[in-house]
């Protein structure tokens, strides 16, 4: 039995060793390599086995990003073995990530003190001191790292940066010069020295450093760009321009330089020259599409100014030509087409963009809005159905699908889409009203009148003064000849809120007609018929009320006017043929 326990213990410790090595990077594994023999310090084989299981579970939790669980398990490990260095390291790291800085520092001190030459323990403690802005403590540790690891150039660079932060200019510069003696002219070292000199306002020395870098490789465009940036900061524009010209001599199509020259000429008010360089940058496929998109957005935002609209459109065309398959190119080109009222063309490019980038909701929504404006309900129904699959929690896609199906007379499908989408409307009263009113339409056409009325009533609970809902609801009631008293009240209110709307006047007149208030109805329908271009429905209603008032000739004339205005219903044609109203 004792032999079996011994085998189990050995397996547990071996498993712990394998897991701690596999669940860490090489750096972390080095920092925690003492955990493998942690069981040797515990008082019993039971404690050893428990420690091993806890440590493995803690590492697993940390790898999965479950820091709270990892913290709990590592804390239990520390209870079993308070002096375990690897556990203190893990606890210090997790506390630092969680922002519990005092506890992080406490654990970091333990592991750093246990092994002063372990770089990872020291770096953890340095990080903890820096977070707490205890720079005097952290700089001592960095100095010790440089002493203990003289061949590690990154430790010298970090110490130089720390010296600079603390205002120790001479010490920082000395370290950079030591590094330069060792490695020669190095781009990063030169840039660090340049920042150091600029902080000290030693601008001539900063310039000389950048010139040294440039001389070391006069064919490297990037080194000229460092000088150009420096001269721009110093407002020495002609020197900056000279650097840009040298870059273009080496790399004529360099997009970054063309962008810089655009800014250079723009600052001087030379907009024509500036735009030419911007076009050159856009023509270069090496300039990424995201950068081009961000520039184009700035033109789009100022498109109320003719120059920005014209130039933005030209850039959008160039971008599309250079990156024809990029969704950003197609979407931006569509945006500018819409500014020019070319919705049909915009829909084509929006569909290309949406198909290429299925996860971009903004593009899909823009596509659906455009198709809605165009009245392309076949496309809208198809594309909104696809959008529902891609964005099942976005209420707008259900709304567009519902509206499309309403227009296509697929009333049950419309009602279902609107009902489903309503569940995703949150804190948006206007959208909720749109859903309820459209549901009212759909249920009316499916002859589910109770549901229709309830939908309209729900909309009016949100906004009792919504004239569209008041008119639509009252009109449906009048067609069904139901609850006409309620219909009259609602329609009257719509006309009071928006007087002179001939559609609302027609509804009110028609309700009065259904209530057999023919004289009042004639007045409203006559006034509605006089407003705007001839409307066949209004003219037909007007003819109906005239017939009820025994004005047969006048009624026939209005029915014929309705036909001339585009009326084609069978009931209208029968009225004209038979010269009478068939109730």
pLDDT digit string, tens, across residues 308-356:
999 999 999 999 999 999 999 999 999 999 999 999 999 999 999 999 8
Whether the CB-CB separation of 287 and 302 falls below 8 Å is answered with no
* Residue 138 pLDDT grade (very low, low, confident, very high; cuts 50, 70, 90): confident
Query: Do 282 and 322 form a contact (C-beta atoms < 8 A)?
Result: yes
Q: Please provide the average confidence, as pLDDT, over all residues in the chain.
A: 88
Is residue 6 scored above 80 in pLDDT?
A: no
> What confidence score (pLDDT) does residue 499 get?
95
pLDDT at position 5: 36
CA distance 310 to 292: 16
- pLDDT the model gives residue 222: 86
pLDDT at 459: 97
Residue 506 has pLDDT above 90, yes or no: yes
Range from 27-31, 76-80, 206-210 that averages highest in pLDDT = 206-210
Higher pLDDT, 517 or 154: 517
Q: pTM of the prediction?
A: 0.63
Q: Which of 113, 160, 123 is nearest to 145 (CA)?
A: 123
**What is the rounded CA–CA span in Å between residue 425 and residue 395?**
6
- Asked if the model's pLDDT at residue 41 lies above 80, the reply is no
Q: List pLDDT tens digits, range 356-414.
A: 888 899 999 999 999 999 999 999 999 999 999 999 999 999 999 999 999 999 999 99
Determine the average pLDDT of the residues in 297-308: 95
pLDDT of residue 45: 64
| HSE-CB for 151 with a 13 A CA cutoff | 0
Separation CA 357–CA 353 (nearest Å): 6
pLDDT digits (tens, 9 = 90+) for 185-218: 889 889 989 998 998 899 999 999 999 999 999 9
User: What is the per-residue pLDDT for 40?
Assistant: 44
pLDDT in tens, 421-472: 999 998 899 999 999 999 999 999 999 999 999 999 999 999 999 999 999 9
pLDDT of residue 101 exceeding 50: yes
pLDDT at 25 > cutoff 60: no
Shortest CA distance to 281 belongs to which of 263, 306, 297? 263
Three state DSSP letters for 381-424:
HHHHHHHHHHCCCCHHHHHHHHHHHHHCCCHHHHHHHHHHHHCC
Q: What is the pLDDT of residue 2?
A: 42
Q: What is the largest CA-CA distance in the chain?
A: 118
Confidence category of residue 574, pLDDT binned at 50, 70, 90: very high
Residue 358 gets which letter from DSSP? T
pLDDT at 31 (0 to 100):
45
Is 234 in contact with 203 (CB distance < 8 Å)? Answer: yes
Which residue ranges make up each domain of the chain? 1-146
- Report CA-CA distances (Å) from 73 to 79, 85, 546: 10, 15, 89
The answer on pLDDT for 15 being more than 50 is no
Q: What is the DSSP secondary-structure string of 281-336? A: HHH-TTS-HHHHHHHHHHHHHTTTSHHHHHHHHHHHHHHHHHSTT-HHHHHHHHHH
pLDDT one-digit tens code per residue, 480-499: 999 999 999 999 999 999 99
Contact between 396 and 368 (Cβ < 8 Å): yes
Calculate mean pLDDT across residues 151-177: 84
Fold of 1-146: 1.25.40
Asked whether the predicted pLDDT for residue 158 surpasses 90, the reply is no
Does the structure show a pLDDT above 50 at 228?
yes
């Amino acid at each position: 039995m004792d032999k079996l326990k011994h085998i189990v213990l050995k397996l547990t410790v071996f498993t712990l060793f394998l897991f701690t090595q596999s669940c860490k990077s090489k750096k972390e594994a080095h920092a925690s390599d003492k955990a493998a023999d942690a069981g040797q310090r515990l008082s019993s084989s039971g404690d050893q086995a428990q420690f091993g299981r806890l440590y493995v579970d803690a590492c697993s939790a940390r790898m999965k990003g479950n820091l709270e669980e990892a913290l709990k398990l590592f804390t239990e490990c520390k209870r079993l073995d308070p002096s375990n260095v690897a556990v203190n390291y893990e606890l210090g790291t997790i506390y630092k990530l969680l922002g519990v800085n005092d506890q992080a520092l406490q654990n970091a001190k333990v592991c750093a003190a246990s092994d002063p030459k372990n770089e990872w323990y020291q770096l953890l403690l340095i990080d903890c001191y820096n977070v707490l802005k205890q720079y005097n403590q952290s700089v001592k540790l960095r100095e010790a790292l440089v002493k203990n690891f003289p061949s590690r150039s990154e430790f010298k660079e970090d110490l130089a940066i720390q010296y600079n932060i603390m205002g120790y200019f001479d010490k920082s510069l000395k370290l950079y010069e030591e590094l330069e003696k060792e490695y020669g002219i190095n781009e990063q070292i030169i840039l660090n020295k340049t920042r150091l000199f600029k902080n000290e306002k030693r601008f001539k020395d900063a310039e000389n450093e950048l010139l040294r870098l440039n001389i070391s490789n006069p064919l490297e465009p990037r080194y000229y760009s460092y000088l150009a940036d420096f001269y721009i900061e110093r407002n020495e524009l002609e020197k900056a321009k000279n650097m840009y010209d040298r870059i273009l001599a080496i790399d004529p199509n360099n997009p970054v330089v063309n962008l810089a020259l655009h800014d250079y000429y723009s600052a001087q008010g030379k907009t024509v020259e500036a735009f030419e360089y911007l076009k050159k940058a856009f023509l270069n496929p090496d300039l990424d599409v995201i950068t081009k998109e961000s520039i184009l957005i700035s033109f789009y935002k100022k498109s109320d100014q003719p120059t920005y609209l014209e130039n933005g459109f030209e850039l959008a065309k160039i971008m599309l030509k250079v990156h024809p398959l990029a969704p950003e190119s197609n979407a931006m080109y569509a945006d500018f087409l819409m500014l020019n009222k070319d919705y049909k063309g915009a829909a084509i490019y929006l569909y290309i963009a949406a198909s290429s980038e299925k996860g971009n909701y903004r593009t899909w929504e823009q596509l659906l809005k455009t198709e809605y404006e165009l009245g392309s309900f076949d496309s809208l129904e198809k594309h909104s159905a696809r959008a529902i699959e891609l964005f099942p929690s976005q209420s707008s896609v259900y709304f567009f699908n519902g509206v499309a199906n309403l227009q296509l007379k697929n009333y049950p499908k419309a009602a279902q889409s609107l009902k489903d989408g309503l569940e995703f409307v949150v804190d948006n009263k206007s959208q909720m009203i749109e859903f309820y009113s459209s549901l009212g339409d759909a249920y009316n056409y499916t002859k589910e009148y109770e549901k229709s009325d309830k939908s309209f009533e729900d909309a009016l609970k949100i906004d009792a003064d919504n004239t569209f809902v008041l008119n639509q609801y009252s009109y449906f009631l009048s067609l069904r000849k139901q609850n006409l008293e309620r219909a009259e009240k609602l329609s009257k209110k719509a006309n009071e809120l928006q007087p002179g709307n001939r559609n609302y006047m027609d509804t009110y007149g028609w309700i009065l007609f259904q209530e057999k208030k023919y004289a009042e109805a004639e007045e409203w329908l006559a006034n509605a018929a006089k407003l705007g271009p001839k409307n066949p429905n209004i003219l037909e209603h007007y003819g109906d009320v005239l017939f009820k008032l025994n004005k047969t000739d006048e009624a026939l004339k209005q029915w014929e006017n309705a036909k001339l205005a585009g009326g084609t219903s069978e009931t209208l044609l029968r009225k004209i043929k038979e010269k009478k109203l068939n109730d």
